[in-house]
Amino acid sequence: MSALVSAAPGVYGREAGAEVIKSARMPQFIIPTIILPPAFYALFALGMGNGDVEMATHTLATFGVFAVMGPALFGFGANVAGERENGQLELKRLSPMPAGAHIVAKLVATIVFSVIAFAIIYGLAIFAGVDLSPSQWAILTSVHVIAVFPFALIGLGFGYRLGQKGAIAIANIVFLAMAVMGGLWMPVAVLPEVIQTIAWALPSYHLGELALMAAGQSDAANFWLHAGPLALITLAAAIFAWTGQGRHAA
């Protein structure tokens, strides 16, 4: 096709590798995104659950979604905002780098760090006596990996629109609000009715419910009741991210 543009697969691989290395070397990224969710799981679900395996299984499903939110929201929101603000993104755009390589690389890195975070939670859950069949583990893992996409798109939408400081602030608010109101820390049913209604608009709520189904904690007959809204929310997030491209923070 073109004589001077580098062979694409190599570029994607190197870009993804660089993203993983960059994040791995930043404690301000690793601690809140990888250490915190398993620590919360150990403390609240296991420590306070007093050996209640039923509760440990329930919270395994929802904390797995929680563990994915950090790398996705911060990796995309804050990092893209920073790279756009200081011209790194512009320099890549002016190079012959394939247009999608930067986003694909960030997605790969986000999935890598999400998997590390929820794999630690899986380990803690098994240690606490949680017993799922191999197919249940496989489906649960799929739900948790899929969870990367809506949160990454939301983060990207903010990253394209806000400066780095603004994006970090918004990522923190979205992170906590989605976790609490989406019922990831405690079931939505125990929250006020207003929040139960808001939860329907949150990807965290639907992903939590789907993860509960995967772990045999909820009736799988309701699959479309949550997969449908999740698909719509993800589409809206994709439009939010797409329309933010090329914008400049004030």
Partner 1 sequence: MPPATSPIVARLKGVAKSYSGRSVLKGFDFALEAGSVTALLGPNGAGKSTVAGLITGRLAADAGAVTLFDRDPRDADARARMGVMLQAAGLPEALTVAEAVALHAGYFKRRLKTKDVLEQAGLTALAKRRCDKLSGGEQRRVHFALAIAGCPDFLVLDEPTTGFDPEARRAMWRLVREKADAGVAVLLATHHMDEADALADRIVVIADGEIIADGPPAAIKAKVAGSTIRIRTALSPAHLQMLPGAAKVDQRGADTAILTTNARATLEALFSADPALTDFEVASASLEDALADIIANTVKEAA
Residues in contact with partner 1 by CB under 8 A are: 2-7, 10-11, 14-15, 18, 21-23, 25-26, 82-83, 85-88, 90-92, 94-97
Q: Please give the angle made by the CA atoms of 139, 32 and 81, to the nearest 5 degrees.
A: 95
Task: Report, in Å, the least distance between residue 47 CB and partner 1.
Answer: 34
Tell me the H-state helices in 41-147. 53-72, 79-85, 88-94, 101-127, 134-146
Task: Report, in Å, the least distance between residue 105 CB and partner 1.
Answer: 10
Is-contact 46 124, C-beta < 8 A? yes
**Residue 47, burial from CB neighbour count under 10 angstroms (0-12, 13-18, 19+):** exposed
Task: Report, in Å, the least distance between residue 13 CB and partner 1.
Answer: 9
Of 47 and 96, which CB lies nearer to partner 1 in the complex structure? 96
In angstroms, the CA 250 to CA 247 distance is: 9
Task: Report, in Å, the least distance between residue 1 CB and partner 1.
Answer: 9
Task: Report, in Å, the least distance between residue 23 CB and partner 1.
Answer: 8
Task: Report, in Å, the least distance between residue 10 CB and partner 1.
Answer: 7
Is-contact 143 216, C-beta < 8 A? no
Cα 224 from chain centre: 21
Of 4 and 221, which CB lies nearer to partner 1 in the complex structure? 4
Nearest to 126 by CA among 136, 66, 181: 136
Of 166 and 203, which CB lies nearer to partner 1 in the complex structure? 166
Of 83 and 209, which CB lies nearer to partner 1 in the complex structure? 83
Of 118 and 160, which CB lies nearer to partner 1 in the complex structure? 160
In angstroms, the CA 203 to CA 112 distance is: 20
Of 106 and 144, which CB lies nearer to partner 1 in the complex structure? 106
